[in-house]
Amino acid sequence: MSKQIEFFFDVGSPATYLAWTQLPALAARHDADLVYRPMLLGGVFHATGNQSPATIAAKGAYTRDDFQRFARRYGVTLNHNPYFPINTLQLMRGAEALHGTDQFDVYLGAVFQAIWVDEQDMNQPDVVGQVLAAAGLDPAALMEQLGDPEVKQRLKETTEEAVRRGVFGAPTMFVDREMFFGQDRLQFVEEKLAACH
């Protein structure tokens, strides 16, 4: 069996964005598959009683500064979105709808860029439509898929699976059944991959 990183994520998390900027190269270094697992962070928080660091002023301020340290280390841009927190239900249904298609990476890149670099208000459907169209995607076709009961059910089931497996926040990675929470644990993810045969 080939090595793999399961990546449970929600685009509304700045830590998830930072992990996403690093994980493809990290996986490639170890000849591992990066398996994307779209989930609803709000659903995870509700099920576990966890909440965003932003709900505590001092912790939120520190976390924003800490994320900037990591952004500098990774050589990527991370801007504080003035519309944070963003309701990601429709965005994550979009990720689920395109999961496994050749449009998935384009979609994810466009959404992460819009939220965490361009500071777009992705709560607004018209803004989302403009972002997707600019990326070469068909917003109208995707909007139809968002209402698909199968898409909704898959996202719900992945979220429930995440909670069953001990996930309490995003990003969470699994390598060979071992769980790693947070973009600041990528070194441990890499060490685990190196130890896998």
Residues with catalytic function: 13
39 vs 172: CA distance, rounded Å:
10
40 vs 140: CA distance, rounded Å:
22
Q: Which amino acid is at 69?
A: R
Q: E strand or H helix at 181, and its extent? A: strand 178-181
Give the residue from 76, 116, 110, 84 showing the smallest Cα distance to 95.
110
65 vs 5: CA distance, rounded Å:
27
Q: Which amino acid is at 6?
A: E
Cis previous bond, 139, omega within 30: no
42 vs 61: CA distance, rounded Å:
21
> With contact defined as beta carbons under 8 Å apart, do 114 and 77 qualify?
no
